Every structure is written in C-alpha cells, then in structure tokens.
Chain A
Amino acid sequence: MNAGLPKNEGGKMATHPPRRSFLGRILAGWAVLAFGRFLPKRRRPSPGAHREAMFYTRGEDR
C-alpha cells in the first residue's frame, strides 16, 4: 500500500534524493554541453535590416 513512499527508517523520513556524485555532476555538465548544440539558436536580424545609422561620431583607437 505504501509502495513508492520513502521508508521510515530509525524514526527519520527521507526528505531529499541522494546527492549526485562528483562523477555524476561531471557527466551531467558534459551532457548539457554536448547536446546544447542541438538547441534552437537565437535568431539574428537578417542582413537587410542592417543600415548605417545617422548621428554618431568615430572615436580614438583604444
């Protein structure tokens, strides 16, 4: 009847999942980087939208 619920062991309830191991964190980070390339990219304005602006001055090199 209580299947799936945390077991009451020694009077303490399990309140959070076990901490992810160091190796687990490394693998998770690698997975984000590896699969991130498949996420949609930010859309850039098309080249036609670029136009030299009015009202600016060119400064010194720095």
Chain B
Amino acid sequence: MSVTVKCTLCPHECRLDDYQVGRCRSRMALEGKLQTLVHGKPCSVHVDPVEKKPIFHLLPGTGAFSLATAGCNLTCSFCQNWSISQASPETTRNLDLPPAEVVRLARERGCRSIAYTYSEPSVWYEYMLETATLARQAGLRNIWVTAAYINPEPLRRLAPVMDAANIDIKAMDDRFYREVCGGTLKPVLAATELAVKLGIWVELTNLLVPTLNDRPETIRALARWVKSTLGPNIPLHFSRFYPAYRMQNLPPTPLATVAGAKSIALAEGLRYVYTGNVPHDDNANTRCPSCRELLIGRQGFTMTGNALRAGRCPRCNLAIPGVWS
C-alpha cells in the first residue's frame, strides 16, 4: 500500500505513487510527500537584455538575470528550448545556486531584474517564489516568462512578488493545445486574465507556426480576446518560428505572415503590437499610439533610444502603460 499524492500546481493535477515523477519531470512523490527535484539547481544562467524575454514595457535597456531549471508541463512539438524544457533534471548539467546567491549575482552583474525563463518556471515554483521574494527585498524586479499553465491558487500566491510576465499564448485553439502542446487552452486564458487582475504587468507572445496556428481567423480571435478581456494596452508580440525539436519539417514563418498578424492585431484595436525574430525594422520600436512619436527605439534586443518622460509621451503627454522606474 502506498499513499498517492496529487500535485495541484498545474491543471494536469498528476496523481503520483511513491517515486513517480509528474509530467513536468521535476516534481516527485516520495514517502507520501511531493518533492521538487530542482530547488537551487538551475541548468541555464545568463544575463540577457530584458527585451529578449520579450518584455518591452519594463525598464527598457536594462539587464535581466535569467535562469532556468530543467522541466516543463507542456510538450510543444515546436519548442525552441526543448533541450532543457523536455529534459529531466538528472540529465542536465546543473549549477548549485541557492536563491540568495541568485540575488547576489544579479546585483553584482548590475541587473535590474531577475527573469524566470527559458523552460517553464511554474514547474520550479518553489525556487522561483523564494528567489523572487528575496529579489523584491533587494530592490530587484521579477519577470515570469511562462505558458501560464498553472492553477489559480499558486498564481495568487506568486503575484505579490511578481512584477511582470510574458505569457506565451500558443494559439486561440484548444485543439492546437491538445494535439501540439499537450495541454488545454482554457486554463491558460484563465491564468492570463487572473495575472492581469492581480496587478502583474503582462505582455503576450504568440509564436506563429506555419500551417498550424497562423490562419488570420486564429490571429484575429486572439487579438479580439486580448482587447475585450485584458484591454488594448496589453502588448502583443508576434514571434517568427524557426524549425526546431519535432517540427524540423516546417519552414520558418514567412515574413509576410508576421507582418499580416501585426496588421490584424492593430486593426482590432491593440495599441502595442511588436514582431520578434524578424530582421530589424520599425517592428520592435514603441510608438505613441496617439501621435505616433517614436518613444523607445530598438535594434533587435538593443535599445537605441528612450524618449519617455516619466512614462509619458514627450510630444502629447499620453501616459504609456508599463513599469518605467
């Protein structure tokens, strides 16, 4: 006889016998208790520009101390970070980096924020929460880069220490979630809505995978949902797909598709729409939605200029939403 454990962190709600590991590969039942296997054991640590997350409306031009452990609760066939997200922690080369050490290193490297990113930080929830709590006390901002496949209660507990989130909405299509990502759409939309309500600064990313989620109707449905549920000030990043993991058979997203997606979102009334993984042009710049003044210029992940005055447009004085100081 063994005691089963039900993990309630994410909507999968894995039921585990002793020594069984959840779908995320990073949480294991042991003697009737659930254990995280990755606390203080990141496999990726880098200093990135905050624009790489992508987060465009929080402290632009600053460094984000970025880390990840192995594991993810989704199984997206197009994952661009599959070598760590689809790996078990015992198969990755891990550092020994307790939360206090993460904060110390972030300050030492001159970062203004810590980003929990690359894999799915929700599955290393305890490590993220403890680090974020210490970071907040040290005056650093916290950024959660996630697919938001998380239950409401853990999100409520995380929100007080989380400043910003980039939420990857894979598609406004439940079938796509089920067949390509190993999840469902509804909990993602619910978590995104809750994150905004709880006061986290949210930006959204939508990776456009050719032939799978790049139909104009799907893109329009996403833009409409964002505007009607979250409001027109939520930035939306359309990202270009490159062949990866189990989708080496598909070509990179045509540039016309990415540009078309941006046009659709703007036409639906979203004010801040960006494109990523595309050649440098005006698509990564922030312009005033009222007078079209160039506010923040970017070349790739590098900020080339910031004309904001206390978070406002210098020409028409419109307040630009975001975290600017």
**Interface positions of A (Cβ within 8 A of B):** 42-46, 48-62
Q: Across the interface, do A53 and B96 meet the contact criterion of CB distance under 8 Å?
A: no
Task: Indicate whether B246 reaches chain A with its CB closer than 8 angstroms.
Answer: no
Report the minimal beta-carbon distance from A59 to chain B, rounded to whole angstroms: 4
Q: Which B residues touch A43, using CB under 8 A?
A: 90-91
Report the minimal beta-carbon distance from A19 to chain B, rounded to whole angstroms: 36
Q: Across the interface, do A62 and B89 meet the contact criterion of CB distance under 8 Å?
A: no
Known contacts A42-B90, A49-B40; A55/B151 CB under 8 A: yes
Task: Indicate whether B315 reaches chain A with its CB closer than 8 angstroms.
Answer: no
Complex CA gap A55/B96 in Å reads 24
Q: Which B residues touch A57, using CB under 8 A?
A: 5-6, 8
Q: Across the interface, do B9 and A53 meet the contact criterion of CB distance under 8 Å?
A: yes
Q: Across the interface, do A51 and B39 meet the contact criterion of CB distance under 8 Å?
A: yes
Q: Across the interface, do B96 and A48 meet the contact criterion of CB distance under 8 Å?
A: yes
Report the minimal beta-carbon distance from B159 to chain A, rounded to whole angstroms: 15
What are 23 A-B contacts defined by CB distance under 8 Å?
Answer: A42-B91, A43-B90, A48-B96, A49-B36, A49-B39, A50-B39, A51-B35, A51-B36, A52-B34, A53-B34, A54-B9, A54-B125, A54-B129, A54-B157, A55-B153, A56-B5, A56-B6, A56-B33, A58-B32, A59-B3, A62-B1, A62-B2, A62-B4
Q: Across the interface, do B7 and A49 meet the contact criterion of CB distance under 8 Å?
A: no
Task: Indicate whether B154 reaches chain A with its CB closer than 8 angstroms.
Answer: yes
Task: Indicate whether B27 reaches chain A with its CB closer than 8 angstroms.
Answer: yes
- Encoded as 1 (CB less than 8 Å from any A CB) or 0, chain B from 133 to 151 comes to 0000000000000000001
Q: Which A residues touch B4, using CB under 8 A?
A: 58-62
Report the minimal beta-carbon distance from A35 to chain B, rounded to whole angstroms: 22
Total contacts A-B at CB 8 Å: 90
**Interface positions of B (Cβ within 8 A of A):** 1-9, 15, 17, 27, 30, 32-41, 89-91, 94, 96, 125-126, 129, 151, 153-154, 157
Q: Across the interface, do B33 and A49 meet the contact criterion of CB distance under 8 Å?
A: no
Q: A52-B36, A62-B17 are in contact. List 9 more A-B contacts (CB 8 A).
A: A43-B90, A48-B96, A49-B89, A50-B30, A50-B35, A50-B37, A52-B34, A53-B125, A59-B4
Q: Which A residues touch B3, using CB under 8 A?
A: 58-61
Report the minimal beta-carbon distance from A9 to chain B, rounded to whole angstroms: 44
Q: Which B residues touch A55, using CB under 8 A?
A: 7-9, 125, 151, 153-154
Report the minimal beta-carbon distance from A53 to chain B, rounded to whole angstroms: 4
Report the minimal beta-carbon distance from B150 to chain A, rounded to whole angstroms: 10
Q: Across the interface, do B1 and A53 meet the contact criterion of CB distance under 8 Å?
A: no
Q: Which A residues touch B8, using CB under 8 A?
A: 55-57
Complex CA gap A25/B63 in Å reads 59
Q: Across the interface, do A48 and B40 meet the contact criterion of CB distance under 8 Å?
A: yes
Q: Across the interface, do B96 and A51 meet the contact criterion of CB distance under 8 Å?
A: no
Q: Across the interface, do A59 and B41 meet the contact criterion of CB distance under 8 Å?
A: no
- A45: contacting residue among B9, B37, B125, CB under 8 A: B37
